[in-house]
Amino acid sequence: PSEKVAHFEKDVWSIFTPLAAETKAINLGQGFMNFNPPDFVQDAANGAISDVAANQYSHPKGRPRLRKALADSYSPLFGRELDPENEIIVTAGANEGMFATFAGFLDEGSEVICMEPFFDQYISNITMNGGVPVYVPLRAPAKAANENISSHEWKLDINELRSKITDKTRMIVINTPHNPIGKVFDEEELIEIGKVAEEHNLLILSDEVYDRLYYEPAKQVRIATLKDFWKRTITVGSGGKSFAATGWRVGWLIGPSELIQYSLAAHTRVVFCVNSPCQEALAIGLEKTNQIPYFQNQIEAYTKKRQILSSVFEELGLPYTVPDGSYFILVNTTKVQFPQDYPFPAVLDSRAKDFKLCYWLAKEIGVVAIPPSEFYSKENRELAADFARFAFCKSDDVLEDAVKALRKLA
Ligand code: GLN
């Protein structure tokens, strides 16, 4: 194998998603829904499957109807008239959009600033494209070991970020709402980051796949709309997160034509184009959101889900970070006792304690969570050893069942 992949450890999803199936545990691990996309999106998908043109290749930039729907939906949010011809491309999930952007902008040895914890795919996407991830931490206050905190209390030290910049730095990756913390960066924080990018002429890649999922009083602020940052920012979005269709693999990039042309160049040579009928269905879905308050209703539903799941951590006295966005709760598991001599599989040997706790939790408590040390560099893995990430993008009854199962920890 190539050295690019030979060093990969088995990824956390390939361990815990099969474990959920095998143990029949309630799966609050990988962030996917156990419910369908809304009826109007399902109907649109059924229609698209019988439409001759919608079953063939799309334009590499994406189907015109979807780019138009994205421009209509996002122009007001970006405070500018987005040009569907030149400022939006549809990608095979947000993930491929990011891969294509790394491919389009990194040379061998180019450095990319990533906040730690990070969504794990960034790192392999960077290294497969010759880049080098450089980490800067988001830190929780010390009291987080004993009490609940707001995700907003996780902070970036801007001087620390500045200290990581070298003449090889090309890009800063932002993730807001953040996976796994649920932090929604505020305007002031984004301006600080943007200014550093400006000072050093860096590209900003803003992963905003959970942009439609933020909870009062938090609000989604887009760095591309602040100051003069539009011209150096590519924003990443996700149809899967917005419409409960994570398996459709339809995402998008929004940014100035001078930048996204390079993502497009790489994207065209990686996948050429994206799953056409699903693009068509999401176009129709987005159009519909102009007539019905779909996103508002979804936020209300998720606010309730967050409440259902977090109630059990209250009961158990396990401190957690209250997410302002996304659908994850990061829980401090220090108080959970589990046998260290449990028959853990060898694949966990090299991993931090959180992998073992999550394995035991699946087997004995019947709930799957994700060990967040996957979201840290090897050097800093131990920082996550006493945490677990629970996803609440599940139907309320499943969340209630998870609550009952987790009570066994009392
Ligand atoms: N975004 C999803 C999560 O964090 C995982 C996506 C993936 O499996 N690569 O749960």
Tens-digit pLDDT profile for residues 220-248: 999 999 999 999 999 999 999 999 999 99
Cβ of 121 below 6 Å from ligand 1: yes
ipTM of the prediction: 0.92
- Give the residue from 123, 115, 110 showing the smallest Cα distance to 166: 110
Compute the residue count for the chain: 410
Reading phi first (left if > 0) and then psi (alpha if -120 to 50, else beta), residue 113 is in: beta
Question: Is there a contact between 362 and 16 (Cβ–Cβ < 8 Å)?
Answer: yes
Ligand 1: which of 10, 12, 13 to mutate, most ligand atoms within 8 Å of CB? 13
Cβ of 268 below 6 Å from ligand 1: no
- Cα–Cα distance between 224 and 233 in angstroms, integer? 6
Cβ of 13 below 6 Å from ligand 1: yes
Calculate how far, in angstroms, residue 267's C-alpha sits from the geometric centre of ligand 1: 20
The C-alpha torsion from 292 through 297 and 299 to 302, rounded to 10°, is: -140
- Helix residue ranges, H only, 184-293: 187-199, 239-242, 257-270, 276-288
Q: Which is the closest atom of ligand 1 to the Cα of 179?
A: 4
Question: What percentage of the chain carries pLDDT values higher than 70?
Answer: 100
Q: pTM of the predicted model, to two decimals?
A: 0.97
pLDDT (0 to 100) of residue 304: 98
Q: Which is the closest atom of ligand 1 to the Cα of 30?
A: 10
Q: Which is the closest atom of ligand 1 to the Cα of 391?
A: 10
Cβ of 179 below 6 Å from ligand 1: yes
Q: Name the 3-class secondary structure at 211.
A: coil
Cβ of 262 below 6 Å from ligand 1: no
Structural domains of the chain in order of their starting residue, each with its CATH number: 3-37+294-409 (3.90.1150.10), 39-288 (3.40.640.10)
Q: Which is the closest atom of ligand 1 to the Cα of 95?
A: 9
Encoding tokens for residue 85?
Answer: 């011809």
Which residue shows structure tokens 């829904």? 33
Tens-digit pLDDT profile for residues 163-206: 999 999 999 999 999 999 999 999 999 999 999 999 999 999 99
Q: Which residues of the chain have pLDDT under 50?
A: none
Calculate how far, in angstroms, residue 52's C-alpha sits from the geometric centre of ligand 1: 32
